[in-house]
């Protein structure tokens, strides 16, 4: 039977009073009372000053990082990414705080509460007739009872892990979904889902089992001084399987690397984070019945699988529903007349998705990710021009600051975190397990996926994906969330070192690796990859026998093609100001509902707003032909980012990029030519 919070507080206070010699007795003179009040005020003022200094420290770190990033970009330095730079600055400040600031507190005194069988989250302590409130920070091993942090400044710069989850992670994850380049993402959707779901699960179990062998070895040689269960090893596998190739993707974007490779890596990392956090929650929920709570139990295993499916699907639905509600609000109100209010509502609805999911027992990371994708797909079309620009810039800035803040804190935590446990055997075993887990993740899945892909995932792509399995913010946030036990403290310290190594070494080697693997760079994002088998590509436009031989349509994932028509004909007209009128897609007896749900702008606009989804599946046998850096069409039209050459030899420059960025914020646009049969020699993608 659980006791009410007030009873817990009184019991905790009573336990401490019983252990205090002469506690609670006697009064004090007026002068001593005044001195105590003055000392209390001085301590409060000193605490406020230290809070300001700790926040100023991180702001100066970010400022210094931004200035150095500008210098690197100006000098075209690519061997170190901004996140690695932020970690270096964090390390420097951590060393200064650890060894350059004196201890300012030496008043910690242990008390005994032997009559209590469990700790309380809050204690009321009676000191000379005055009650003081204390909160629980965590367990301290007996061997470190006299090594508790005595430096108040180091205590101030050590943040509550919930700060990372509730404040810093939401803008990072939302921005990933909101800025998703959907054309190439959906073209590789099947492969991305396979890598993210099946690949992450394979990586988790391989790393977990290998690390369990390492733990057994540590126990055999006497290197293990605490409890480390099999479920802890699986939890470490789930945590460290969360990839964050932010450094690699930034270099890809700067060099305009192959768009399909970029889509595979970006899509895997986005969904991989969501899968890893749900997988870790499922492992924590694994509770076998019986005396041995860490043995394998079939019922508990299937329960964990059910927890995984339930949490993921529930979080997905919550994020999608929040995005749909926001789209409806922005469509059927006049908020677009007040861009400031529109942007504020968009921001609050998006952020609240994360907190709502966490409050309901789901995973906020999954919810806010799919909320961002839904907002970009529907709500974005309803926003005013000012709000479109504001929302993109707002979340881009928040993403940049939050990500660099986390990496700066990683460097700081190496010296300020008090519960580090570094084991050379565990660290070396973790690096080997991660390498083998990544290899088992990429190569077998790529082989199976290539059996059904028209454009194969080549060996150089596979090697690059293997190389790009960096660990970053999500792995760190998952590891620091629970450091109460010996095993979790060792896992956190090892995760920190793995992040350092992958960001500095692997991230710095991205450019040489691209060159060594002969991966295309300087690629137009709208240019389709050349065929792998034929030196001539025949594309046919309109005609009775065309059979819609549209490269984009053929390459789009079948899962996307299943719901595209439904989304285009019904969801888009209901939730946005674009798409065909519902009066033309719904049955005639739904005419009243169709007229109510269809936006008047659909009828007013003679030329429909172009949708980004039309880049995925083109109708009427539209034709796209790209040769090198030049798009050749029968009518001289072209897509953005390219110079165009018409059949009469004239060379023109496209102006559609500005319109597309203004209307959609996406850099995906197709070039079409109708009623023509063209045969061009294309490079062989050997």
Cβ atoms 115, 14 nearer than 8 A: no
Tell me the pLDDT of the chain averaged across its residues.
Answer: 76
Mean pLDDT of 324-331: 93
* pLDDT(324) > 90: yes
CB-CB neighbours of 169 under 10 Å: 23
Q: Which long-range contacts (CB under 8 A, 24 or more apart) does 201-205 make?
A: 201/275, 201/279, 202/437, 202/440, 202/441, 202/445, 203/237, 203/241, 203/437, 203/438, 203/440, 203/441, 204/234, 204/237, 204/238, 204/241, 204/276, 204/279, 204/437, 205/234, 205/237
- The predicted model gives 364-388 an average pLDDT of 93
Task: Provide the H-helix boundaries in 161-258.
Answer: 161-163, 169-178, 182-187, 189-193, 200-220, 230-240, 246-255
Average pLDDT over residues 339-348: 95
Confidence of residue 396 (pLDDT cuts 50, 70, 90): very high
Q: Is the pLDDT of residue 108 over 50?
A: yes
Label residue 679 by pLDDT band (50, 70, 90).
very low
Please list, in sequence order, all residues whose beta carbon lies within 8 angstroms of the beta carbon of residue 447, skipping any fewer than 6 positions away: none
More confident residue, 525 or 264: 264
Extract the tokens encoding 23. 């506690």
| CA dist list (Å): 415 to 98, 127, 157, 419 | 6, 34, 11, 10
Q: Residue 255 has what pLDDT?
A: 82
pLDDT of residue 376: 93
Nearest C-alpha neighbor of 192 from the set 278, 265, 244: 265
- What are the tokens at 670? 């197709």
User: If pLDDT is split at 50, 70 and 90, which confidence band does 398 have?
Assistant: very high
d(CA 257, CA 376): 24
pLDDT above 50: residue 477: yes
Q: What is the pLDDT of residue 495?
A: 95
Instruction: Give the range among 26-40, 555-569, 617-631 with minimum mean pLDDT.
Output: 617-631
| Residue carrying the six token digits 């105590």 | 36
pLDDT at position 599 is 78
Distance separating alpha carbons of residues 148 and 65, to the nearest angstrom: 32
Q: Which residue has the higher pLDDT, 424 or 82?
A: 424
What is the distance between the alpha carbons of residues 76 and 251, in angstroms, rounded to a whole number? 11
Question: Is the pLDDT at 678 greater than 50, yes or no?
Answer: no
Task: State in Å, rounded, how far the first CA of the chain is from the last one.
Answer: 70
Q: Beta 130-135 vs 536-540: how paired, if at all?
A: unpaired
Residue 150's pLDDT band, with cuts at 50, 70 and 90, is: low
How far is residue 262's CA from residue 670's CA, in Å, rounded to a whole number?
A: 19
* Residue 667 in this model has a pLDDT that exceeds 50: no
Residue 17 pLDDT grade (very low, low, confident, very high; cuts 50, 70, 90): very low
Percent of the chain with pLDDT over 90: 34
CB 588 within 8 Å of CB 506: no
Please give the Cα distance from 284 to 152 (Å, whole number).
33
Question: Comparing 602 with 526, which gets the higher pLDDT?
Answer: 602
> Would you say residue 682 has pLDDT above 80?
no
pLDDT surpassing 80 at residue 342: yes
Mean pLDDT (whole number) for 461-487: 90
Helix (H) or strand (E) holding 662: helix 656-663
pLDDT surpasses 80 at 297: no
pLDDT of res. 6: 39
Query: What would the two tokens of residue 160 be?
Result: 């509550």
Sign of the four-CA dihedral 266, 269, 275, 281: negative
- The mean pLDDT of 625-653, rounded to a whole number, is 40
Hey, CA dihedral for 523, 527, 528, 530, is it positive or negative? negative
Residue 525's pLDDT is 61
- pLDDT, residue 359, reads 93
Neighbours of 216 (CB within 10 A): 13
With a cut of 60, say whether residue 529 has pLDDT above it. Answer: no
Mean pLDDT along residues 9-16: 42
Q: Which two tokens stand for residue 390?
A: 């504001």
pLDDT, tens digit, 9 for 90 and up, residues 55-85: 898 899 999 999 998 988 888 777 777 888 8
Joined tokens for residue 301: 């295993």
pLDDT of 299 reads 77
User: Which region among 96-105, 214-223, 495-504, 662-671 has the lowest average model confidence (pLDDT)?
Assistant: 662-671
Q: How many CA atoms lie within 13 A of 30 on its CB side?
A: 0
Listed in sequence order, the residues at least 6 apart from 43 whose beta carbon sits closer than 8 Å to its beta carbon are: none
Say what the pLDDT of residue 14 is: 41
Section 629-654 average pLDDT: 40
What percent of the chain lies above the pLDDT cut of 70? 72
Higher pLDDT, 457 or 667: 457
Does residue 474 or residue 104 have the better pLDDT?
474
> Which pLDDT value is given to residue 681?
39
Q: Which residue has the higher pLDDT, 668 or 319?
A: 319
Residue 364: name the closest of 350, 377, 345, 374 by CA: 350
Query: For position 378, what pLDDT does the model report?
Result: 92
Which strand (E) or helix (H) includes residue 630? Answer: strand 630-633
Instruction: Return d(Cα 214, Cα 216) in angstroms, integer.
Output: 5
The values of phi and psi at residue 217, to 5°, are -65, -40
Q: What are phi and psi of 123, to 5 degrees?
A: -125, 140
pLDDT at residue 676, rounded to an integer: 35
pLDDT value of residue 326: 95
Q: Can you point out the beta strands (E) in 504-545? A: 536-540
Give the pLDDT confidence score for residue 536 in this predicted structure. 32
The pLDDT of residue 173 is 92
Coil, strand or helix: which one is 427? helix
**Structure tokens that stand for 581 in this block:** 């009128």
State the pLDDT at residue 237: 95
**Taking the mean position of all CA atoms in its chain, how far away is CA 522?**
27
Q: Tell whether the model's pLDDT for residue 229 goes beyond 60.
A: yes
Mean per-residue pLDDT for 302-324?
92
Q: Is the pLDDT of residue 175 over 90?
A: yes
Cα(233)–Cα(208) distance, rounded to whole angstroms? 5
The pLDDT of residue 50: 82
Degrees, nearest 5: CA angle 610-615-620: 85
d(CA 435, CA 430): 9
Kindly write down the DSSP assignment for every residue of 34-92, as one continuous string. Answer: HHHHHHHHHHHHHHHHHHHHHHHHHHHHHHHHHHHHHHHHHHT--SS-HHHHHHHHHHH
Lowest mean pLDDT among 113-127, 406-420, 543-557, 658-672: 658-672
Q: What is the H or E stretch that residue 321 is in?
A: helix 298-332
- Using alpha carbons, select from 524, 550, 525 the residue that is nearest to residue 623: 550
- Give the confidence band of 390 by pLDDT, cuts at 50, 70, 90: very high
Coil vs helix vs strand at 263: helix
- The more confident residue out of 271 and 668 is 271
With H, G, I as helix, E, B as strand and everything else as coil, classify residue 120: coil
The average pLDDT across 444-468 equals: 92
Evaluate if residue 248 carries a pLDDT over 70: yes
Q: Concatenated DSSP letters for 406-420? A: HHHHHHHHHHH-S--
Cα–Cα nearest to 615, from 684, 545, 543, 526: 526
């Amino acid at each position: 039977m659980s006791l009410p919070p007030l009873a817990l507080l009184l019991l905790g206070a009573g336990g401490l009073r019983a252990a205090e010699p002469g506690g609670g007795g006697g009064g004090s003179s007026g002068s001593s009372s005044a001195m105590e009040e003055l000392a209390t005020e001085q301590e409060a003022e000193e605490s406020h000053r230290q809070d300001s200094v700790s926040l100023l420290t991180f702001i100066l770190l970010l400022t210094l990082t931004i200035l150095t990033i500008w210098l690197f970009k100006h000098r075209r330095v690519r061997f170190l990414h901004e996140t690695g730079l932020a970690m270096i600055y964090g390390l420097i400040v951590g060393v200064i705080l650890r060894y350059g600031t004196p201890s300012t507190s030496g008043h910690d005194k242990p008390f005994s509460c032997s009559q209590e069988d469990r700790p309380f989250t809050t204690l009321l302590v009676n000191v000379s007739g005055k009650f003081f409130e204390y909160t629980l920070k965590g367990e301290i091993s007996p061997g470190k009872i006299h090594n508790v942090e005595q430096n108040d400044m180091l205590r101030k710069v050590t943040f509550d892990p919930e700060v990372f989850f509730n404040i810093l992670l939401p803008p990072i994850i939302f921005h990933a979904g909101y800025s998703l380049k959907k054309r190439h993402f959906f073209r590789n959707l099947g492969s991305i889902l396979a890598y993210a779901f099946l690949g992450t699960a394979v990586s988790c179990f391989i790393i977990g089992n290998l690390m369990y062998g390492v733990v057994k070895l540590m126990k055999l040689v006497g290197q293990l001084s605490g409890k480390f269960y099999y479920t802890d090893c699986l939890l470490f596998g789930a945590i460290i399987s969360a990839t964050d190739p932010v450094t690699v993707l930034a270099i890809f974007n700067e060099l305009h690397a192959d768009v399909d490779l970029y889509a595979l890596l970006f899509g895997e990392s986005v969904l991989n984070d969501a899968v890893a956090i749900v997988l870790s929650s499922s492992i924590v929920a694994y509770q076998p019945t019986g005396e041995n709570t860490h043995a394998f139990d079939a019922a508990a295993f299937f329960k964990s699988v059910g927890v995984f499916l339930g949490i993921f699907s529930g979080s997905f639905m919550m994020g999608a529903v929040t995005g749909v509600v926001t789209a409806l609000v922005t469509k059927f109100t006049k908020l677009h007349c007040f861009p400031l209010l529109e942007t504020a509502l968009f921001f609050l609805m998006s952020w609240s998705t994360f907190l709502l999911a966490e409050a309901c027992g789901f995973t906020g990371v999954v919810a806010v990710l799919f909320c961002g994708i839904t907002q970009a797909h529907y709500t974005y079309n309803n926003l005013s021009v000012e709000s479109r620009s504001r929302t993109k810039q707002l979340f881009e800035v928040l993403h940049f600051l939050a990500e660099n803040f986390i990496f700066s804190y990683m460097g700081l935590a190496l010296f300020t975190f008090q519960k580090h446990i570094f084991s050379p055997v565990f660290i070396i075993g973790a690096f080997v397990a991660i390498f083998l887990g990544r290899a088992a993740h990429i190569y077998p899945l790529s082989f199976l996926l290539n059996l059904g892909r028209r454009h194969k995932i080549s060996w150089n792509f596979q090697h690059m994906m293997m190389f790009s399995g960096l660990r970053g913010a999500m792995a760190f946030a998952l590891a620091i969330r629970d450091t109460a036990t010996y095993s979790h403290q060792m896992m956190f310290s090892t995760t920190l070192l793995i992040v350092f190594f992958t960001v500095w070494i692997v991230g710095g080697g991205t450019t040489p690796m691209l060159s060594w693997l002969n991966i295309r760079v300087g690629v137009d994002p709208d240019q389709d990859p050349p065929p792998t088998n034929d030196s001539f590509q025949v594309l046919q436009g309109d005609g009775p026998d065309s059979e819609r031989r549209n490269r984009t349509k053929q390459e789009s994932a079948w899962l996307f093609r299943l719901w595209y028509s439904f989304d285009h004909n019904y969801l888009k007209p209901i939730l946005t100001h674009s798409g065909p009128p519902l009066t033309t897609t719904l049955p005639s007896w739904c005419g009243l509902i169709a007229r109510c749900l269809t936006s008047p702008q659909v009828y007013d606009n003679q030329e429909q707003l172009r949708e980004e989804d039309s880049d995925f599946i083109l109708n009427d046998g539209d034709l796209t032909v790209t040769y090198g850096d030049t798009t050749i069409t029968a009518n001289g039209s072209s897509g953005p980012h390219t110079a165009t050459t018409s059949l009469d030899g004239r060379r023109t420059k496209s102006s559609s990029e500005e319109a597309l960025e203004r209307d959609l914020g996406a850099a995906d646009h197709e070039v079409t030519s109708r009623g023509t049969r063209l045969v061009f020699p294309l490079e062989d993608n050997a």
